[in-house]
Chain A
Amino acid sequence: MFSLENAVAAIMLLALIVYALMAGADFGGGVWDLFARGPRAQAQRELIANTIGPVWEANHVWLIIVVVLLFTGFPAAFAAIMTALNIPLSLMLLGIVLRGCAFAFRSYDLKTYQRQRQWSRLFAISSIYTPVMLGICIGALASGRIRLVNGLPEGGFLVPWVQPFPFAVGALTLALFAFLAAVYLAVEAQDQELREDFRLRALIAAVLVGALAWVCFFLARTEAATIWAGLATRSWSLLFHIATGAAATTAILALYFRRHYLARTAAVLQAGLILIGWGVSQYPFLVGPDITVAQAAAPRITLILLLIALGAGSLLFVPSLYFLLRIFKGPNAFAIVESGLEARASPRHGGEQPPAST
């Protein structure tokens, strides 16, 4: 089971999970920017912008790691994916660029309501569109039907991804990101009413995630045979479903009982488990039905150097990331559940900001 290529593939999956948990939530923030409603619409938008602001650029590191690992560690798979999924990947890239620019330009442009709203709208629309494209690409990979003949995808450039299953996964990805964002924002909100706004949004998104997960699961039976086999017929399938279901249920119950830190932990576990379920079910295929992890792997020396570089890089990167989050997200940045004080403290009322935590 352990081999260099499996180790690199596992790190790729891990990086993708962290990308979903961190950048995914930033995309989700864009969704809630678009759906900001009611008397606190402006406060909602400000909370989203302040929450995303310090970290969103750092969060894209994870996607870059995935792409670099893919082309260095698995060049054959990289070539196949970039060719077969060229159109959705290019469309996703367009979304990433527009979204980042809209967010940055907004803070440097005129502070008039009109102008700010224009940038916000572009930011929000590209925040919705990009995760859908990401999900479509993952769904196309998961369907295990990407076959290249003479370097070109069999059936043309649309067949690999213009299918029900990839689009369902696209919708699931969007719902999942929106759910994560709402759960995080409920933790971040200092204002009680604002916190309730995002708690409600998180509950709605949780239901959507559940429903779409089932849609994907049943579509997989005919559309993504390998995934279906992994999720339904292997010895660990039931255990996996119980764990994911337990995390989802815990998240919803914790939201219901206003245990927002616990909800965040459960939501993180749920999202991580969904991606692990995909990865493990698809194994040993990197690009089904033809390319396995072992077949696509780069020469041994490349993989060794890659792992050394990752180890050395993380010595620098992990502490930087820790301090970034610790500084901008406060002492509770990594809290798994409510501290005793937080749980018992009476909710803060009114719109006043608490003293900035340092």
Chain B
Amino acid sequence: MFNAGWTSQTTHMILAAYVAVGAIIAGTHAWMLRRYPGSEFHRKALGLGLAMGVVAAALQPLSGDFSARYVANNQRAKFAALEGQFKTEQHAPLRIGGWPDTDAGQTRYALEIPGGLSFLEYGDFNAEVTGLDAFPREDRPDPRIVHPAFQLMVASGMLLLVVMVWAILTAWRRRGISEYPPLLLALAGVAPLGFLAIEAGWVVTEVGRQPWAIAGVMRTSEAVTRMPNLVVPFAISTMLYLLLASIVIALLVRQLREAPHRAFDGAPPRQEPANV
């Protein structure tokens, strides 16, 4: 439980949870403010979500850097896959975007910052970064999943941070953001990105550890149950959780519709449903 990886991963996930929840709260109430301009309730809720989200989102790049250094030093195959680094090389570039072509053994169409990866992870533009080629083919995670998921996670987080900082600056300069439609629209637009980033991050870490269930000790193919037809329980639980997720969303939307849009404006707040 307390192995060397837990501090960076745990910090990263806890911050991610605060960012995601802050973003979805701020975004939802920003959307509602467009429909109910001037609603004190939605304005306060937007402020709460934004305040929580922006602090966590600002800390997240630091935590991400901490995580990445850990992975770069301790899980080199995962690191190579998430950066799309096929060849072991000095002066390795930081790749933004791009598609890992496993047949050709290189990442195509990426925006490359020369030496960026070497510098970010080891503080030296000429440091050597281990590539996937250092590992036998059967011990490599698939960069075609891990690299795009990593890019998606980072991009979502960065976009969220930019919009949230924009919102905070606007609030500070204009003394209130609830009458600034483009910003409300932007906040609503980025609302789901926190959760998207969390899911993408889990894909990075879990697909990135393949083919091992326990690194170097047991392969996933050795760990899996001998039971045949595992597609059946997989399909059933996937459908069940899709169903439950849609019910949760429907119930949340219903709660939102019944929110006291005009509360604190003189009208009595509506009766809230009892919680258990």
Contact = CB atoms under 8 A, between A and B. Distances in A.
A152 interface: yes
A42 interface: no
B3 interface: no
A86 B227 contact: yes
A266 B231 CA distance: 46
Nearest to A111: B273
Interface stretch (B14-22, B87-95, B142-150, B247-255): B247-255
* Main DSSP-derived SS at the B contact region: helix
B251 A105 contact: yes
B244 interface: yes
Nearest to A93: B237
Contact of B240 (A86, A97, A105, A108): A97
A108 B258 CA distance: 12
9 contacts: A53-B276, A86-B225, A97-B240, A105-B248, A107-B273, A107-B275, A108-B251, A108-B275, A152-B227
Contacts of B244: 97, 101
A133 to B, nearest CB: 14
Nearest to A94: B240
Given A83-B226, A150-B226, 10 more contacts: A82-B225, A86-B225, A94-B236, A94-B240, A103-B276, A105-B248, A107-B276, A108-B251, A108-B254, A109-B254
Contacts of A152: 226-227
Q: Lowest 4 CB-CB distances: which A-B pairs, in order?
A: A151-B226, A107-B276, A53-B276, A108-B251
Interface of B: 225-227, 233, 236, 240, 244, 247-248, 251, 254-255, 273-276
B246 to A, nearest CB: 12
A163 interface: no
A13 to B, nearest CB: 25
Contact of B225 (A83, A94, A104, A109): A83
B240 A107 contact: no
Contacts of B254: 108-110
Contacts of B240: 94, 97-98
* Main DSSP-derived SS at the A contact region: helix
A105 B247 contact: yes
A152 B229 CA distance: 13
B113 to A, nearest CB: 45
Contacts of B274: 107
Nearest to A106: B276
A83 B273 contact: no
Contacts of B227: 83, 86, 152, 157
A150 B225 CA distance: 11
Interface of A: 49, 53, 82-83, 86, 90, 94, 97-98, 101, 103-105, 107-111, 150-152, 157
A104 B247 CA distance: 11
B247 to A, nearest CB: 6
Given A82-B225, A152-B226, A49 B276 contact: yes
A108 B255 contact: yes
A49 B274 CA distance: 13
Given A90-B233, A101-B244, A109 B276 contact: no
Contacts of B255: 108
Contacts of B251: 105, 108-109
Contacts of B247: 101, 105
Contacts of A53: 276
B235 to A, nearest CB: 12
Most chain B beta-carbon contacts within 10 A, residue among A49, A109, A151: A109
A86 B236 CA distance: 14
Contacts of A110: 254
B271 to A, nearest CB: 10
A110 B271 CA distance: 13
B128 to A, nearest CB: 38
A221 to B, nearest CB: 32
Contacts of A83: 225-227
Nearest to B275: A107
A64 to B, nearest CB: 16
Contacts of A86: 225, 227, 233
A105 B227 CA distance: 34
A64 B43 CA distance: 41
Nearest to A108: B251
Most chain B beta-carbon contacts within 10 A, residue among A49, A105, A108, A150: A108
A15 B244 CA distance: 29
Nearest to A53: B276
Nearest to A148: B226
Contacts of A157: 227
A63 B225 CA distance: 22
B244 to A, nearest CB: 6
Contacts of B225: 82-83, 86
A217 B274 CA distance: 46
A111 B273 CA distance: 8
A104 B276 contact: yes
A49 B248 CA distance: 20
Contacts of A90: 233
A150 B248 CA distance: 42
Contacts of B226: 83, 150-152
